[in-house]
Structure 1
């Protein structure tokens, strides 16, 4: 993922290489709110690429400071997990953090190229009500979110000679996640065939390599079955039980087939689909008659979180696609002074984060 120090600071995470297989279709991208949108500070975008998150901040005397997203004034393409957040005092600053922000709709995911955070002052001229606080500009305006990524990989014998490539893709995927967040993200690993083994979360790539090399792989010519849903549930359990200092947790699963080895597959499927953990699915077509696109797509949190490849060569790009998706989970960061206000006299401070973002979708061809 490219570093944009002058545009935004990637203090925390993660992933990389903008899509060669992604396409922008400006005719179908919704127009942003045109009112008082400033010119972007980054190239390749304009005012129509703005996606606005509105939030308000209070620090009333005798009360805990709060920050709240304002859904009715926020672009529908902004996806978030919670509405309220508690700012923290760090040195002489009050730091507002809003984590786990995703930019997407039914057609596109969006990559933020830069962001500006502004405050509203109704006493200023109508064309200049939104402005950047000069004293508060020396700050990270957004970063990518610290993640715990559970990687669930099918290593059954049906992969044939492609299995070694799949193992390497998993290692490369973990390397990107870990390297792009300065060691502040973690990767957990579940490997499954007719055996399911889950390994602890780690921020050391060597642990992932050791686990992948040590799994008891079935012989390629053996008659084995795939415990797909068992593997995903094991991964979800690991995510829920892990005690990690991260902002978000996601699961990424890969398979070349269907679930023909788990007990109670329908109950497992229901449990997976009920999980609130964001789930990304990668499928490899053409390896067997049991492959089921609709089933795998249903296990993902949304259709935008599902990709599939025709062969092992294309599969590497599909892993990169998902890595790009989980990289674009943002934390809005805004620093203010610790000044307090009177709840009887002062309204909440109105703020907005304007993401200048480009749309992409994974090329299915």
Structure 2
């Protein structure tokens, strides 16, 4: 009896080990992803002015999108409407990002979710991207600053390697704010980063403000602000604060910026609430404790930033009142 029981345990153990080995994979092979769900309301008050609002409560928490925004669409000919959803990413709590393989549409009808084959959600990966790296060079980084510069250069290489059309600029800050304009020349950027020198104070907000200006002037399909700091602002202009910056990032309909942040929190000088608040429109923030941990976050964010999707929902021109919207669900199948 014990022999058979032990054999069963051994077989279960070997099966578990085999499953883990297969799941973990190796090399650059795609890794198993997961299924995620987005829920949204759809209305079309005239038949030619479709709008969408995401349901943040029921949508998978890994979905990164501006949940406060209403996405407006347009009529296509005499029969269809489309709504485009930009800056769409799927990022888990460990800053891993996911690649979309397929999206299945459902609509709530008579209290049940019915698979929809007539109205669909298509997706495309954005190739044209502009990134501004906002880089802390204050004295508080000490000897770690040379390591941060190397991480920044690795980040530059990764983004340029992953996307065919890239513009990138750098805004660096300490007691003053300096910059390198958006360029397609990665070597110029890396040379600029290598030449950075440290200074006193932390002029974070003014630096972010300049980064927004640079992205505002870009005509790229996707725009990303990526901030690294190990401290809190103590030197910016009085009229430039976190609420002012957040308003600039989120409220302007002429340009949409996703913002990401790394706060090196080894000495506890980073205000996590501020950086989390500044990470908007599908962005996120991470707070490594050591310089070694920061390396992994730079690497993950380089993938996350360059992996952004645009979604397009296609539907007919049926009139749907705003106060009784259509309830929609989309199941997203992914790989990592």
TM range (shorter): 0.5 to 0.7
Other structure's SS at 1:301 match: helix
1:300 aligns with 2:279: no
Question: Which residue in 1 is equivalent to 2:16?
Answer: none
Query: Which of 217, 229, 253 does residue 227 from structure 2 map onto?
Result: 253
Other structure's SS at 2:164 match: coil
Other structure's SS at 1:229 match: helix
Question: Which residue in 2 is equivalent to 1:227?
Answer: 203
Other structure's SS at 1:319 match: helix
Question: Which residue in 2 is equivalent to 1:84?
Answer: 72
Question: Which residue in 2 is equivalent to 1:356?
Answer: 333
Q: Give the drift of 1:95.
A: 7.5
Other structure's SS at 1:237 match: helix
Question: Which residue in 2 is equivalent to 1:331?
Answer: 310
Unaligned runs of 5+ in 2: 1-23, 25-30, 251-256, 320-324
Change in 2 beyond 3 A, CA 1:342/1:319: closer
Structure 2 Cα separation of the partners of residues 321 and 268 of structure 1: 28
Query: Which of 212, 221, 229 does residue 236 from structure 1 map onto?
Result: 212
Q: Give the drift of 1:298.
A: 1.1
Question: Which residue in 2 is equivalent to 1:157?
Answer: 139
Change in 2 beyond 3 A, CA 1:314/1:353: same
Query: Which of 155, 158, 168 does residue 173 from structure 1 map onto?
Result: 155
Cα deviation digits, residues 279-300 of structure 1 (max 9, x gap): 32212234xx6x523x243133
Paired residues for 1:122-133 under 5 Å = 129-132=114-117
Structure 1 or 2: larger helix share?
A: 2
Paired residues for 1:137-148 under 5 Å = 141-144=123-126, 146-148=128-130
1:272 aligns with 2:245: yes
Q: What TM-score does the superposition give when structure 2 sets the normalisation length?
A: 0.64
Structure 1 or 2: larger strand share?
A: 2
Structure 1 Cα separation of the partners of residues 75 and 184 of structure 2: 27
Structure 1 Cα separation of the partners of residues 243 and 113 of structure 2: 51
Q: Give the drift of 1:171.
A: 1.8
Cα deviation digits, residues 12-47 of structure 1 (max 9, x gap): xxxxxxxx9xxxxxxxxxxxxxxxxxxxxx9554xx
Unaligned runs of 5+ in 1: 1-19, 21-41, 361-365
Q: Give the drift of 1:112.
A: 5.0
1:285 aligns with 2:272: no
Question: Which residue in 1 is equivalent to 2:15?
Answer: none
Aligned residues: CA RMSD: 4.6
Structure 1 Cα separation of the partners of residues 108 and 206 of structure 2: 54
Cα deviation digits, residues 238-288 of structure 1 (max 9, x gap): 22x3131324x3321112233344343x853442344325432212234xx
Structure 1 Cα separation of the partners of residues 205 and 130 of structure 2: 20
Change in 2 beyond 3 A, CA 1:320/1:108: closer
Query: Which of 322, 325, 343 does residue 301 from structure 2 map onto?
Result: 322
Question: Which residue in 1 is equivalent to 2:38?
Answer: 52
Q: Is the 8 A contact 2:95 2:301 kept in 1?
A: no
Q: Give the drift of 1:208.
A: 1.6
Structure 2 Cα separation of the partners of residues 226 and 342 of structure 1: 54
